[in-house]
Amino acid sequence: MWTIAKLTFKEIVSKRIFLITMMMTAVFLILYGVAIHYAVKDWKSFGASTVDQMMQQQLFSSQLLSIGLYFSSFIVALLSILSSVSAIASEIDSHQIDTWLMRPITRTQFLFGKVIGLGGLLIAYAAFLFAGIIILHQGIGGEVVSLDFSISQIVSASATYMLQPLVLVTLGVMLSSRMTTLNAGIVLIILYGSAFIGGFVEQIGTIMEKGALVNIGIISSLIFPVDAMYRKMTVFLFDTADNPVSLAQQGMFASASAPNNVMILYTIMYGCIALAVAIILFRKRDV
């Protein structure tokens, strides 16, 4: 299992797409840093003396951070989708899997190896991006836009943030153990897109107080809880969801409609079930 995990990890790192992703990530972080730098510069010249202005500053600051985190979670999701949908299917297509599976390992061990390798790499990447965004925001932003976070806020927010690639990987591997790479990719992108749109619909529904829209968002979160985890992460990070003036409730990239804590448990169960189904499908499959 660990041999397969190591090979999976090294394989992705050796691919050109990973190098390109890392370069683009660096470009994204630089741009984000530059944006924060100029935002702070403009804000300094404007100044913030009244309570209203200070609240505006806090809101503006949390929006900047939310945008950075939202886009970074989108990048992590794309990398998770692209790397997981081919994990099993492409190896079956190319018959590379034959010489691995004829070794004295079970298919479950092989599949776990794939999930651990992919999940490990994507968690490391997500942690790097999360830390990068927070450091840039707090560091470059300085006193003007930096927000007060406790360690527990950062830990719970980053853990929830890292749940997203894990769920995507388990579902991607599940689809890959049954479908071709292309089909699995299409299904997963549609699911991710639905969750993405559903998340926005839910936020709009909450702001407009339209129950039907909120329900659509909830259903999309139940079908694929990735966006819900992003929203939950913002609640953990800004930690004031019950507060009527909570920063977590402000703007489209935050969480006007806060997911319940049970949603985290649901997401973990979702990933576990996807993994169990993947094992059952892969055991039955002729390779």
Partner 1 sequence: MNVMEAKGLTKTYNGQAGIRNVSLEIEEGMVYGFLGPNGAGKSTFVRTMLGLLNPTSGEGKILGKPIGTPESREKVGYLPELFRYPDWLTGRKLLESHAELCKVPIRERKKRIDEVVDLVGMTGRDKEKIKGYSKGMSQRIGLACALINDPKLIFLDEPTSALDPIGRKDVRDLMLHLKDQGKTIFLNSHLLNEVESVCDHVSIVHKSELIVQGKWRELMMVEAQVEIMSSAKAESTKLDFPDFVRNVERKEAVNGRSKALYQLKREEDIPRLVDFLANHKLPIYEVTPVIPHLEDVFMHWVNEKERRYVDHR
Footprint of partner 1 on this chain (CB under 8 A)?
Answer: 3-4, 7, 10-11, 14-15, 94-96, 98-106, 284, 286-287
**Alpha-carbon distance 287 to 282, whole Å?**
9
Work out how close the CB of 84 gets to partner 1 at its nearest, in angstroms, rounded to a whole number: 17
Closest CA to 96 of 110, 108, 116, 75: 110
Work out how close the CB of 165 gets to partner 1 at its nearest, in angstroms, rounded to a whole number: 22
Amino acid at 101: L
User: Which residues are CB-neighbours of 170 under 8 A, at least 6 positions away?
Assistant: 115, 119, 271, 272, 274, 275, 278
Nearer to partner 1, 253 or 282 (CB): 282
**Alpha-carbon distance 62 to 135, whole Å?**
14
Nearer to partner 1, 5 or 64 (CB): 5
Nearer to partner 1, 15 or 41 (CB): 15
**Alpha-carbon distance 18 to 11, whole Å?**
10
Q: Do 1 and 112 touch, CB atoms closer than 8 A?
A: yes
Query: 3-state DSSP call for residue 172?
Result: helix
Work out how close the CB of 217 gets to partner 1 at its nearest, in angstroms, rounded to a whole number: 42
Nearer to partner 1, 20 or 219 (CB): 20
Nearer to partner 1, 14 or 49 (CB): 14
User: Which residues are CB-neighbours of 129 under 8 A, at least 6 positions away?
Assistant: 25, 72, 75, 76
Nearer to partner 1, 106 or 152 (CB): 106
Nearer to partner 1, 39 or 287 (CB): 287
Query: 3-state DSSP call for residue 149?
Result: coil
Nearer to partner 1, 41 or 284 (CB): 284
Buried/exposed code over 8-42 (b: 16+ C-beta within 10 A; e: otherwise) = bbebbeeeeebeebeeebeebbeebbeebeebbee
Buried/exposed code over 267-281 (b: 16+ C-beta within 10 A; e: otherwise) = beebbeebbebbbeb
Q: Do 89 and 173 touch, CB atoms closer than 8 A?
A: no
E strands in 142-275: none
Would you tell me the crossing angle of helices 262-284 and 226-238 to the nearest 10 degrees?
150
